[in-house]
């Protein structure tokens, strides 16, 4: 919608009710349109949880000696999924309780799930290549997927989601780290140096997701902050939300 094109910075997303009265002003309309459209994408604690899960599972995999075992980085991802699934369900419930529910269209749901889809698809491709009888050198597809997704977000919303530069940098770092390690021939799926490089790339991707997710959450919380909401937490009855409690 061309009416909203002048929206240019995070500061313009912060909700400032009109002095002396509640309710939106005409200049709030772009903020309302953008936040409503990106409501699911801006629920940043969900990708942040996935990122934290990736960091933790990569670290644990490294500590328990996964690089010396067959399967390599795959174990870290399975562990990450197990770890993060209940947490994301809890966070979704909390978001709904705090900010309400704007039921997304199918396309919006797909776009919100893109970071997870990108990372998991990249990891599956990595695993397939890693476990092939003759592994070829090359970058981690998780890094590539994260870099592509971050670039797309930056191109679309660069004025108010510049924090995706951190995710882009993390993705690129992951690509460099994994591309610089050449697979050892004839190791039968066990290549500790390469596995370590992949685990580091996943941890970097996780770090990028945590940063981007936390800032997305900040943008959402700033845009939906209700002045005068008192007391901790939220109740469905009084309809107020305290964004700091989620």
Partner 1 sequence: MSTPFEYLSSVNRLVHEPARLAILVALSACDRADFLFLLNITGLTKGNLSSHLSKLEQAGLVAIEKKFEGKTPITYATLTLEGKEALKDYWKQFDKVRAGIRQLKPLRTT
Strand partners, 235: 240
Residue 27 DSSP class: G
Of positions 10, 14, 37, 114, contacts partner 1 by CB under 8 A: 37
CB nearer partner 1, residue 62 or residue 225: 225
Task: Name the residue with tokens 């328990």.
Answer: 64
Task: Give me the least distance between CB of 223 and partner 1, in Å please.
Answer: 8
Contact letters (x/-) for partner 1, 181-220, by CB under 8 A?
----------------------------------------
Q: Which of 84, 205, 224, 246 binds partner 1 (CB under 8 A)?
A: 224
Return the exposure string of 93-126: e unless at least 16 CB atoms fall within 10 Å of the residue's CB, then b: ebbebbbeeeebeeebeebbebbbebbbebbeeb
Residue 60 sits in the site that holds partner 1 (CB under 8 A): no
Residue 96: half-sphere exposure toward Cβ, Cα within 13 Å: 10
Tell me if 131 contacts partner 1 by CB under 8 A: no
Contact between 22 and partner 1 per CB under 8 A: yes
Minimal distance, residue 29 CB to partner 1, in Å: 6
Say how many C-beta atoms besides its own lie within 10 A of residue 164's C-beta: 25
Interface with partner 1 by CB under 8 A: which range of 32-40, 49-57, 136-144, 202-210?
32-40
Alpha carbon 215 to its chain's center: 10
Does 230 engage in binding with partner 1 (CB under 8 A)? no
Question: Which window, 85-93, 103-111, 179-187, 198-206, contacts partner 1 (CB under 8 A)?
Answer: 103-111
Q: Which residues pair with 240 in a beta bridge?
A: 235
DSSP per-residue letters across 27-42: GGHHHHHHHHHTTTTT
Q: Give the number of other CB atoms < 10 A from CB of residue 194.
A: 21
Residues that bind partner 1 (CB under 8 A): 1-3, 15, 17, 22-26, 28-29, 32-33, 35-37, 39, 99-105, 108, 223-224, 226-227, 236, 238-241
């Amino acid at each position: 919608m061309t009416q909203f094109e002048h929206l240019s910075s995070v500061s313009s997303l912060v909700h400032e009710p009109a002095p002396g009265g509640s309710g939106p002003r005409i200049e709030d309309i772009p903020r309302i349109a953008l936040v409503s459209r990106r409501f699911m994408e801006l629920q940043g604690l969900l990708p942040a949880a996935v990122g934290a899960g990736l960091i933790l599972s990569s670290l644990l995999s490294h500590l328990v000696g996964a690089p010396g075992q067959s399967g390599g980085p795959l174990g870290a991802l399975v562990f990450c999924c197990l770890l993060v699934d209940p947490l994301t369900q809890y966070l979704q419930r909390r978001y709904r309780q705090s900010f309400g529910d704007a039921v997304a269209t199918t396309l919006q749901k797909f776009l919100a799930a893109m970071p997870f889809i990108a990372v998991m698809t990249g990891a599956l491709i990595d695993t397939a290549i890693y476990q092939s009888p003759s592994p070829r050198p090359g970058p981690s597809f998780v890094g590539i997927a994260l870099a592509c997704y971050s670039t797309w977000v930056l191109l679309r919303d660069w004025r108010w989601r510049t924090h995706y530069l951190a995710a882009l940098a993390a993705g690129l770092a992951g690509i460099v780290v994994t591309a610089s390690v050449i697979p050892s021939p004839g190791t039968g799926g066990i290549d500790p140096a390469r596995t370590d490089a992949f685990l580091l790339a996943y941890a970097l991707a996780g770090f990028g997701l945590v940063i981007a997710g936390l800032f997305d959450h900040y943008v959402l919380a700033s845009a939906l902050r209700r002045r005068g909401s008192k007391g901790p937490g939220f109740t469905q009855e009084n309809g107020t939300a305290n964004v700091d409690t989620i």
